[in-house]
């Protein structure tokens, strides 16, 4: 049996991000300062409860860890089984991605003048502790994959909305968009607010 998760780290991250959004509206600053908060969170791998780190043998999983009561931001764990990958997709809101465990590749895409979706650069390797930003203003379309063919990888994502309820799109290479709303793999949330135990 694994040790209890140190959910105080996630609680501190959530309260810190709430405070950031209460004083900052400029997206550049949200991504810069929020990225630093996320970098501190993913620097430690002792806080994510096992229930929100479980892979699925057939596809990646997205677990909701927290959603702000006004849906200003949401925090999710993405759990990648060996070799799993997303289709090319967008987000339509700002987002931050921090790798907690393992490694991922993130390949950027963009629409060309004819509307097709083309690679906008080589895939970037994101190892544990690394953070990247996405946004319609800086680049919002990518394809992400577990960099490991024989191990699970986990990343923590923060989005400027309740991302499981945002209508987004996946893309074929001809630019054809297919609507989707991702939802979440879990029906319960981690309890961040119990301060009764030493590990909480």
pLDDT tens-digit series, residues 93-113: 999 999 999 999 999 999 898
Q: State the pTM of this model.
A: 0.94
All structural domains of the chain with their residue ranges: 8-180
Q: Is the pLDDT of residue 48 over 70?
A: yes
Do residues 71 and 10 lie in contact, with contact meaning Cβ atoms separated by under 8 Å? no
* pLDDT band for position 3 (cuts 50, 70, 90): low
Instruction: Report the DSSP beta bridge partners of residue 157.
Output: 76, 97
- Asked whether residue 200 carries a pLDDT value surpassing 70, the answer given is no
Percent composition of the chain: helix, strand, coil (DSSP 3-state, to 5): 20, 35, 50
Average pLDDT, the chain: 94
pLDDT of residue 1: 36
CATH superfamily name and code, 8-180 = Jelly Rolls (2.60.120.10)
Mean pLDDT in residue range 78-106: 97
The per-residue pLDDT for 195 is 83
Q: Is the dihedral of CA 119, 63, 152, 6 positive or negative?
A: positive
Q: Known binder of ligand: residue 44?
A: no
Arithmetic mean of pLDDT, 166-187: 94
Which burial class, exposed, middle or buried, applies to 3 when counting CB atoms under 10 A from its CB (0-12, 13-18, 19+)? exposed
Position 4 scores a pLDDT of 64
Region 65-79 average pLDDT: 97
* Paired residues of 83 in beta bridges: none
């Amino acid at each position: 049996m694994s040790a209890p998760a140190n959910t105080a780290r996630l609680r501190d991250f959530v309260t810190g991000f709430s405070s950031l959004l209460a004083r900052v509206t400029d997206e550049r600053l949200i991504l810069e300062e929020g990225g630093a908060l996320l970098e501190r969170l993913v620097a430690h791998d002792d806080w994510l409860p096992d229930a929100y780190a479980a892979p699925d043998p057939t596809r990646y999983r997205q677990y909701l860890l927290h959603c702000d009561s006004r849906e200003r931001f949401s925090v999710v764990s993405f759990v990648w089984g060996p070799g799993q990958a997303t289709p090319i997709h967008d987000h339509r809101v700002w987002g931050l991605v921090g790798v907690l465990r393992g490694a991922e590749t993130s390949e950027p895409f963009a629409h060309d003048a004819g509307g097709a979706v083309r690679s906008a650069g080589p895939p970037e390797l994101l190892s544990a502790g690394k953070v990247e930003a996405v946004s319609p203003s800086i680049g919002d379309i990518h394809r992400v994959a577990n960099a490991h063919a024989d191990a699970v990888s986990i990343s923590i994502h923060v989005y400027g909305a309740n991302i499981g309820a945002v209508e987004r799109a996946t893309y074929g290479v001809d630019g054809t968009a297919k609507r989707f709303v991702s939802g979440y793999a879990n029906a319960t949330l981690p309890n961040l607010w119990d301060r009764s135990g030493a590990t909480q």
